[in-house]
């Protein structure tokens, strides 16, 4: 289950869909916020336009003489003719104010004749004939009858009585209208933004899926080719190693034995023995070096029971380089061939690094099993690895753990193993591998 | 000759309106009589009277959603009479018109709403016979 989840999480299509979903959410929320702003602005603008239209076209022509002075008959006639015309749509309340703050008309008749001080903005509208809008402050006494109506937007503009007195015409709109307009704007924009993005995701997902499949297929083909190349290379190395082992190595071994026999022969004089002895030693060293090379080219037996011998051959050149090498392999008989092969390759790389670069005097290779894990430790007491990019003694630049080991990391990770390289300048290097046995 | 009467009972509505009514019946042309005012319904105030001989008038005023519903009626028992009527609110003309008495009763009725203003509202219904000049008028203060 965890593997399926991990595979799904690393799938490019799943990642694309997840990213698309996040973008979709961001766009949706952004659209909502922007549409709210736009709708609020739109609603206020609409309310102002409606109010100005009502003021010019309905209220102003219907104003009667006497209304401004509170004449009851004028109020009655205005009320009877205007009430149904004004309380339309989302208009919740109408008030007509005198400049001194007296309400000369309202559909809430209890307000008629009351007096409340006008605010600065209302007075400005009254004097300059513009219009303004604001959210109603329902805590004010003149708005006490609107408290049960929820949020209200009040818009006011100026009208003139037949006597020429400026009056403030005030209309209260329900905030439900603003919410509806907000929803209208969002509904208008969301198909373009959210829907467009959704359509893009829907269109591109199959394309991405097809592309991913092609890339996967190409990757598998490349892997197959690499494996075929590796097999071919291994076959070739095996052939070369076998030819060298059966030919040159056998010949050199025979020559070495013959020379050793000649040295032991009493008939061989001292002067001849003195000349032959270094030649024999040199021949033995060359033979050892050749056997190590053969092991490197193609390990003779990479099964668990042959690992100790192969590692022994691997470190054979150490003696010639003045490095005291030891190999210890404990209870790895039941380990799989893949694990043993991986241990061999890491050991090969680590030993090669030590012999070539470490200037070490000691090299220890230890393979053991702990539970279901196969462990490899390769330790030396050499100069250690320099941090990548730093200057090493002799002017050589440091290269970190080495290209060979770094290139093995992917292989180790795929096998479910871990590789740890601990090193410090002049304090040696330790390579530790753990892999499933 | 004027005659006033008080309502027969006081309204007891939720708004606890203090209702006082004064009815004035004016009979132009000599013959005049007045009937005691009557109240019907919750907050409605009803007054009736006679004028111009056998003509009966009725004025009913009652609260109606922040307003006052005014109902004026003239019953002359003669079909086809033309009357000029007027509703005065606090002395100012709120509504006016011309109406004709109709069969079978020989009466007409007008209804209007007026705004219920702060304090006491005085509502008067006045009708004048276009031919004889007889005037019928009733007033309610509410």
User: Distance, in angstroms, between B88 CA and closest chain A CA?
Assistant: 7
What is the spatial distance between Cα A428 and Cα B34, in angstroms, rounded to a whole number? 132
B115, B119, B123, best to mutate vs chain A, most A CBs in 10 Å? B115
Using the Cβ of B140 and the Cβ atoms of chain A, whether some distance falls under 8 Å is answered with no
The whole-number pLDDT of residue B37 equals: 45
Contact A76 B113 (CB under 8 A): yes
For residue A77, the chain B residue with the least C-alpha distance is B94
Using the Cβ of A382 and the Cβ atoms of chain B, whether some distance falls under 8 Å is answered with no
What ipTM was reported for this prediction?
A: 0.75
Mean pLDDT for the stretch of residues A266-291:
86
The whole-number pLDDT of residue A66 equals: 92
Given a contact cutoff of 8 angstroms between Cβ atoms, the answer to whether A422 and A347 are in contact is no
Q: What is the pTM of this model?
A: 0.52
Name the average pLDDT for chain B.
76
CB-based burial, A23-35: b 16+ in 10 Å, e otherwise: ebeebbeebbeeb
DSSP B82-93: EEEEEEEETTEE
User: Distance, in angstroms, between B109 CA and closest chain A CA?
Assistant: 18
Q: For the ranges A238-247, A362-371, B16-25, which has the lowest average pLDDT?
A: B16-25
The whole-number pLDDT of residue A387 equals: 64
The pLDDT tens digits for A382-427 are: 988 766 555 544 444 445 556 667 767 877 888 889 999 898 888 8
The pLDDT tens digits for A12-56 are: 778 878 887 888 888 878 877 887 787 778 778 888 888 998 898
The whole-number pLDDT of residue B28 equals: 36
User: Distance, in angstroms, between A33 CA and closest chain B CA?
Assistant: 41
CB-CB neighbors (< 8 A) of B88 in chain A? 73
Count of residues making up chain A: 437
Contact B121 A114 (CB under 8 A): no
CB-CB neighbors (< 8 A) of B91 in chain A? 72
Alpha helices, H only, A331-422: 337-353, 403-414
State yes or no: pLDDT of B2 exceeds 70: no
CB-CB neighbors (< 8 A) of A76 in chain B? 89, 94-95, 112-115
Indicate if the alpha-carbon torsion angle A128, A134, A136, A139 is positive or negative: negative
User: Distance, in angstroms, between A131 CA and closest chain B CA?
Assistant: 28
Q: Which CATH class for the B40-141 domain?
A: mainly beta
Contact B114 A76 (CB under 8 A): yes
For residue A164, give both structure tokens.
Answer: 């020429």
User: Distance, in angstroms, between B117 CA and closest chain A CA?
Assistant: 7
Q: For the ranges A51-60, A232-241, B3-12, B101-110, which has the lowest average pLDDT?
A: B3-12
Name the average pLDDT for chain A.
84
Using the Cβ of A296 and the Cβ atoms of chain B, whether some distance falls under 8 Å is answered with no
Residues 117-136 of chain B with CB under 8 A from chain A are: 117-118, 121
Using the Cβ of B93 and the Cβ atoms of chain A, whether some distance falls under 8 Å is answered with yes
The pLDDT tens digits for A105-141 are: 999 999 999 999 998 989 999 998 888 988 888 889 9
State yes or no: pLDDT of B13 exceeds 60: no
Nearest in space to A376 (alpha carbons), one of A413, A414, A338, A418: A418
The pLDDT tens digits for A200-259 are: 888 888 888 899 899 989 999 998 998 888 888 878 887 888 888 888 888 888 998 888
State yes or no: pLDDT of B57 exceeds 50: yes
User: Distance, in angstroms, between A71 CA and closest chain B CA?
Assistant: 7
CB-CB neighbors (< 8 A) of B67 in chain A? 79, 109
For residue B68, the chain A residue with the least C-alpha distance is A76
What is the spatial distance between Cα A420 and Cα A424, in angstroms, rounded to a whole number? 13
Using the Cβ of B67 and the Cβ atoms of chain A, whether some distance falls under 8 Å is answered with yes
Matching residue, tokens 């503009």: A157
The whole-number pLDDT of residue A168 equals: 95
Contact B112 A80 (CB under 8 A): yes
The whole-number pLDDT of residue A97 equals: 95
């Amino acid at each position: 289950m965890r593997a399926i989840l991990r595979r799904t999480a690393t799938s490019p299509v799943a990642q694309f869909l997840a990213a698309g979903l996040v973008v979709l959410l961001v766009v949706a929320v952004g659209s909502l916020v922007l549409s709210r702003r736009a709708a609020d602005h739109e609603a206020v603008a609409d309310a102002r336009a409606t109010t100005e239209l009502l003021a010019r076209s309905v209220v102003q022509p219907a104003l009667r003489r006497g209304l401004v002075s509170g004449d009851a008959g004028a109020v009655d006639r205005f009320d009877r003719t205007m009430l149904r015309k004004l309380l339309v749509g989302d208009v919740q309340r109408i008030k007509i104010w005198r400049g001194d703050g007296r309400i000369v008309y309202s559909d809430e008749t209890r307000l008629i004749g009351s007096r409340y001080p006008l605010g600065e903005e209302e007075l400005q509208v009254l004097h300059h004939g513009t219009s303004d809008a604001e959210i109603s402050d329902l805590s004010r006494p003149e708005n006490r009858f609107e408290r049960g109506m929820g949020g209200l937007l009040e818009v006011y503009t100026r009208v003139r009585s037949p006597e020429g007195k400026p009056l403030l015409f005030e209309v209260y709109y329900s905030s439900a209208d603003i919410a509806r307009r907000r929803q209208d704007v969002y509904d208008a924009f969301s198909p373009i933004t959210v829907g467009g993005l959704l359509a893009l995701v829907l269109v591109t997902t199959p394309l991405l899926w097809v592309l991913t499949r092609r890339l996967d297929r190409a990757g598998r083909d490349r892997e197959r080719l690499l494996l075929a190349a590796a097999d071919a290379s291994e076959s070739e190395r095996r052939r070369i190693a076998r030819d060298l082992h059966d030919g040159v190595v056998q010949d050199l071994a025979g020559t070495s034995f013959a020379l050793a026999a000649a040295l032991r022969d009493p008939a061989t004089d001292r002067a001849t023995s003195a000349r032959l002895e270094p030649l024999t030693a040199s021949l033995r060293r060359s033979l050892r070096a050749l056997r190590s090379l053969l092991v490197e080219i193609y390990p003779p037996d990479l099964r668990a029971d042959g690992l100790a011998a192969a590692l022994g051959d691997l470190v054979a050149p150490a003696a010639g380089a003045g490095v005291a090498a030891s190999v210890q392999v404990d209870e790895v008989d039941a380990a799989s061939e893949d694990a043993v092969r991986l241990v061999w390759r890491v050991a090969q790389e680590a030993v090669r690094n030590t012999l070539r670069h470490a200037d070490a005097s000691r090299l220890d290779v230890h393979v053991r099993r702990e539970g279901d894990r196969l462990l490899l430790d390769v330790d030396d007491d050499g100069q250690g690895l320099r941090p990548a990019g730093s200057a090493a003694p002799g002017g050589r630049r440091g290269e970190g753990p080495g290209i060979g080991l770094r290139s093995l990391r992917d292989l180790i990770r795929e096998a479910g193993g871990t590789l740890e390289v601990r090193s410090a300048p002049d304090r040696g290097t330790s390579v530790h591998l753990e892999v499933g046995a | 000759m004027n005659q006033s009467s008080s309502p027969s009972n006081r309204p007891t509505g939720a708004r606890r309106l203090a209702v006082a009514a004064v009815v004035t019946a004016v009979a132009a042309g000599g013959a005049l009589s007045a009937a005691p005012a009557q109240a019907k319904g919750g907050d409605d105030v009803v007054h009736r009277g006679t004028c111009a001989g056998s003509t009966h008038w009725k004025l009913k005023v009652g609260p109606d959603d922040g307003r006052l519903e005014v109902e004026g009626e003239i019953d002359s028992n003669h079909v086809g009479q033309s009357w000029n009527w007027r509703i005065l609110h606090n002395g100012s003309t709120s509504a006016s018109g011309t109406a004709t008495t109709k069969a079978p009763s020989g009466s007409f009725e007008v209804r209007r709403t007026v705004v219920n203003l702060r304090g006491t509202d005085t509502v008067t219904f006045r009708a004048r016979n276009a031919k004889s000049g007889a005037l019928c008028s009733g007033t309610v203060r509410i």
